[in-house]
Chain A
Amino acid sequence: MKKQTFIAWITAGLLLAFSFNSALAAGGATPPPKLKWSFHGPFGTFDRAQMKRGWQVYKEVCAGCHSLHQIYYRNLQDIGFSAGEVKKIAAEDEVAAGPNEDGETHDGGELLVRPGKPFDKLIKPFANDAAARAANNGALPPDLSLTSKAHATGVDYIAAVLTGYKDPPSGFKMNEGMAYNTYFAGNQIAMPAPLSADAVEYADGTKATVEQMALDVSTFLAWAAEPEMEERKRLGIKVILFLIVLTALLYALKRRIWAKVH
């Protein structure tokens, strides 16, 4: 009996501690609604078509201000582009050419450039943080590589903020150049509503509503934050099954060895 009590106490205590812990991190704003995602759950995978659409939204809408620093062009093969398509996508951007055979990176003060290659990182919209602030009313658009991991509510948060724009309630004091957002901490966000209906034209014919684009780009960003997720779950299932078999055998052996004691 006392063992069960002990376990009950420990479990209750830990759960309590963690639930309060994570509730705290949300801070202030309305918690985002919990949505269903194809990649949640132990067997969940990313929807390739959705990720491709999400990439299109990122590229055509977000990439004007937000970098995706951790992603290389070659990574786009993971979301369903062929090697040839990736080469083309990369070649559309200009990247720093690096030192030439004389060891120089600049020519007369101008950066030497070349077309992007799959092994390059995605280009950034601004040369540095100061340039980014100057172009955005003093606000710094954050890098989006890890957004879904950096918020307690994960990918739900991204989708919620993208669709959370409203007129401020009467009496709410807005600061100059800010937009009202239900789900953003403090309800004032420097980013104006980025999505509007048909802001992009999807190649697969999906209708580009604001909700659809928000879900698509959220999925894409969830992948960008955890590109290892599918491999992790696949391997995890094998590891757990193996451990269950091994532990069952160890238990049987333990019973047999200890049977002699009684």
Chain B
Amino acid sequence: MADSAVTSEDGQDGEETRRDFLLISTVSVGAVGAALAAWPFIDLMNPSKDVLALASTELDLSGIEVGQAITAIWRGKPIFIRRRTASEVDAAKNVKLAELKDPQSDADRVQKPEWLVLIGICTHLGCIPVGNKSGQTKGEFGGWFCPCHGSHYDTSGRIRKGPAPRNFEIPPYKFLSDTTLFIG
């Protein structure tokens, strides 16, 4: 607060030529205190405990059949989890990178080839594409289709046609066991 005012006190006293130990230490301690007091103000605006508790989620995958997909919610966003068939995996692997708008190999996008985990938000303007449920159109490349502006994603969640600039994002996740997925 007024610590800075104290610093300009020197010069009042002609005879004091030595370094003013008392003044310097007082100002230093005050400055350290002010700096430490700033931290709670900063930290208060960080995510609170109840928000952090929702920052990760665990999912049981045992009920998902091959070829099925589910939508989970993580940090307020839809997460597409698809258990891919062998042909879908092959289709994803056998694409030439040069053909892709946002080149990325399928191996870079999955941890286990059978399981594709994506943030289900179209990278164009944030709509939620269709194709995760049986009966919905999966687009021209067997993945997902965004009805807003016609973006087509393939079985690796990569953009293949339409205005979206990038592939679906991959959330941070790991497998706690064969059937337990931890996202966050």
Contacts and interface: CB of A to CB of B under 8 A. Distances in A.
- A–B contact at 8 Å CB threshold (below): yes
Interface of A: 72, 74, 101, 117-119, 242-243, 245-246, 249-250, 252-253, 256-257, 260
B23 A253 contact: yes
A257 B50 contact: no
A249 B71 contact: no
**Size band of the interface chain B makes with A:** 10 to 19
Given A72-B50, A242-B33, A246-B26, 14 more contacts: A74-B49, A74-B53, A101-B70, A101-B71, A101-B78, A117-B58, A119-B50, A242-B36, A245-B29, A246-B29, A252-B26, A253-B6, A256-B22, A257-B9
B53 A253 contact: no
Interface in B66-93: 70-71, 78
Contact of A246 (B13, B30, B54): B30
Interface string B14-30: 00000000110110011
Nearest to A243: B33
A237 to B, nearest CB: 14
Contacts of A117: 58
A246 B33 contact: yes
A7 to B, nearest CB: 26
A243 B49 CA distance: 29
B29 A253 contact: no
- Across the A-B interface, the 9 shortest Cβ-Cβ residue pairs: A119-B53, A249-B26, A101-B71, A246-B29, A253-B26, A119-B54, A74-B53, A253-B22, A252-B22
Query: By DSSP majority rule, is chain B's interface helix, strand, loop, or mixed?
Result: helix
Given A101-B71, A256-B22, A257-B9, A249 B29 contact: yes
Contacts of A245: 29
Nearest to B49: A74
A250 B71 contact: no
Contacts of B49: 74
Contacts of A74: 49, 53
Contacts of B36: 242
Interface string B131-168: 00000000000000000000000000000000000000
Contacts of A252: 22, 26
A249 B53 contact: no
Contacts of B30: 246
Given A101-B71, A245-B29, A246-B30, A118 B22 contact: no
Nearest to B56: A119
A117 B50 CA distance: 13
Contacts of A118: 53
A257 B26 CA distance: 13
Contacts of B29: 242, 245-246, 249
A253 B54 CA distance: 51
Contacts of A260: 13
B177 to A, nearest CB: 14
Contacts of A119: 50, 53-54
Contact of B26 (A72, A243, A250): A250
B45 to A, nearest CB: 18
A43 B70 CA distance: 51
Contacts of B50: 72, 119
Q: Which of B29, B70, B71 has the most CB of A within 10 A?
A: B29
B135 to A, nearest CB: 13
Contacts of B53: 72, 74, 118-119
A249 B31 CA distance: 13
B165 to A, nearest CB: 27
Contacts of A72: 50, 53
A74 B49 CA distance: 10
Nearest to B78: A101
A249 B25 CA distance: 8
Contacts of A250: 26
A119 B53 CA distance: 6
A101 B136 CA distance: 14
